[in-house]
Amino acid sequence: DFLWGAATAAYQIEGAWNEDGKGESIWDRFCHTPGKITNADTGDVACDHYHRYPEDIALMRQLGLKAYRFSISWPRVLPAGFGRVNPAGLDFYDRLVDALLAANIEPFITLHHWDFPQVLHERGGWINRDNLPYFADYTALMVKRLGDRVRRWATLNEPRDIADAGYGSGEHAPGIKDDWKSVRQVIHNLLVAHGLAIPAIRAINPALEAGIVLDVWGVEPTSDDPADITAADLVWNSQRIDFLHPIFQGCYHPSRIDADGDNLPEIKAGDMALISQKLDFLGINSYSRTQVGAQGITSQVPGAEYTDMGWEVCAPAFRRMLNRINNDYTLPPIYITENGAAFPDVVSKDGKIHDDRRLDYLRQHFTQVRLAMQDGVDVRGFFVWSLLDNFEWGHGNTKRFGIIRVDYDTQKRTIKDSGEWYSRVISSNSVDR
């Protein structure tokens, strides 16, 4: 029953940014602001998936995918984020889900993958607590519409990134810089929004499965020296488990609270119970690890391979991270909701993309997840990031993660060697060495 799949996100592939009544998102606004994105790329058209989804589903079918993880563009269905519904937006997701089911592919939905409604942002975004119930309303709208056909629902994708990159470093929309008090409040508010959405899903149909997608990269010491181990543990405890710990332990980690200093968020009575409700699954996105010593973060691990994102390839750390969270918390079943690699592909004379390094990256990570399962970690599925080359946020179109190539001039899709190989993994349900 292992769920072999691939993942995407609305803003990264859909395009049609202002079509059929869609509202503006903070990513539309951010990309239209000069200087924010490499090459001034935008997601205005992206992979044009909004129009080409039948072709994309035919490719998924060709690969033999059992499941497809995608996200809903909140302002496509609720242009302002609340209030007036856009029927054409709802119809799109309706058609998408029906076409997936007709192809025998299970839809796995992420409700929010970063394209927050601009109007709601202007009303205080994730900092304003009054906005949080709107996320639950939006959730209920979607579950009412698609819950008869879609079983698994994730509330947020990588909320830590929304807080850190959106409100801290400013590298992502809405591009707010250095407002650490806000970052801390946003972390808490995102957790509360997640906590409000979970019962909204279950109220509509208790048989549905509700969860969240967190980015968890292992943090490992440079050596066995206690000073290095202490430094690595501090990074893990005070930063890396910001969401994992409150959700599965019902409180913030003491190291996190120490690090907060004067920036403690406002926490209302009942919040922590809301945040730590039981989930049906946990989605894990993980691409690499962070190596830390008493001297700080290692920028270049000697001898290690790095991807085009500058991320170290270290598959054994994936297994160790899964075991660590499995030992530290009582977790529901896990889905690997994202893992994959960006490499600068070349189209060969034969028209193919011989992406050996991506293929090898996937092979190593599949193998390590299998070992983690043998260690006792309950992993139920694996979604490769990504189905298609797509718009990689601040990096624009320059980073290619797809197992299918997209030529952005012609929108032509070509299955890469990694995609052909993945297809064989799925049909044989096994990984060659």
Minimum Å gap between C-beta 337 and ligand FCB is 8
State how far the Cα of 361 lies from the Cα of 339, in Å rounded to an integer. 9
Distance CA 173, CA 2 (A): 35
d(CA 252, CA 133): 22
**Contact between 11 and ligand FCB (CB under 6 A)?**
no
Residue 338 is a catalytic residue = yes
Nearer residue to ligand FCB within complex by CB, 155 or 285: 285
Site string for ligand FCB, 329-368 (x = CB under 6 A): ---------x------------------------------
Is residue 157 involved in binding ligand FCB (CB under 6 A)? Answer: yes
Please report, as a single letter, which amino acid is at residue 265.
P
| Whole-number Å distance between alpha carbons of 180 and 343 | 33
68 binds ligand FCB (CB under 6 A): no
Selected binder of ligand FCB within 4, 385, 421, 422 (CB under 6 A)? 385
Q: Which of 392, 400, 413, 422 binds ligand FCB (CB under 6 A)?
A: 392
Cα 8 to Cα 388: distance, rounded to the nearest angstrom: 8
Q: Is residue 41 at the binding interface for ligand FCB, with CB under 6 A as the rule? A: no
Which residues lie below 8 Å from residue 138, measured CB to CB, with a gap of 6+?
74, 77, 78, 81, 82, 111
10 torsion bin: left (phi>0), alpha (psi -120 to 50), beta (else): alpha
Q: 34: burial class by Cβ within 10 Å (0-12, 13-18, 19+)? A: exposed
Q: Does 290 bind ligand FCB (CB under 6 A)?
A: no
401 in contact with ligand FCB (CB under 6 A): yes
Q: Residue count at the site for ligand FCB (CB under 6 A)?
A: 12
Catalytic residue among 106, 158, 209, 312: 158
* Residue 432 CB-density burial (10 A; 0-12 exposed, 13-18 middle, 19+ buried): exposed
- Taking the complex as a whole, the smallest distance from the CB of residue 9 to ligand FCB amounts, in Å, to 5
Planar angle of CA 166, 171, 173, nearest 5 degrees: 45
Among 28, 115, 164, 215, binds ligand FCB (CB under 6 A): 215
Q: d(Cα 79, Cα 88) in Å, to the nearest integer?
A: 11
Let me know the angle formed at the C-alpha of 299 by 295 and 303, rounded to the nearest 5 degrees.
110
Question: Between 145 and 194, whose beta carbon lies closer to ligand FCB?
Answer: 194
Site membership for ligand FCB, residue 162 (CB under 6 A) = no
74 binds ligand FCB (CB under 6 A): no
**One residue of 393, 394, 405, 421 binding ligand FCB per CB under 6 A:** 393
Tell me whether residue 183 or residue 231 sits nearer to ligand FCB (CB atom): 183
C-beta of 110 vs 222, nearer to ligand FCB: 110
Classify residue 173 as left (phi > 0), alpha (psi -120 to 50) or beta: beta
Query: In terms of CB distance, is 182 or 390 closer to ligand FCB?
Result: 390
Residue positions annotated with a catalytic role = 158, 338
Binding-site ranges for ligand FCB (CB under 6 A): 9, 12, 157-158, 161, 215, 285, 338, 385, 392-393, 401
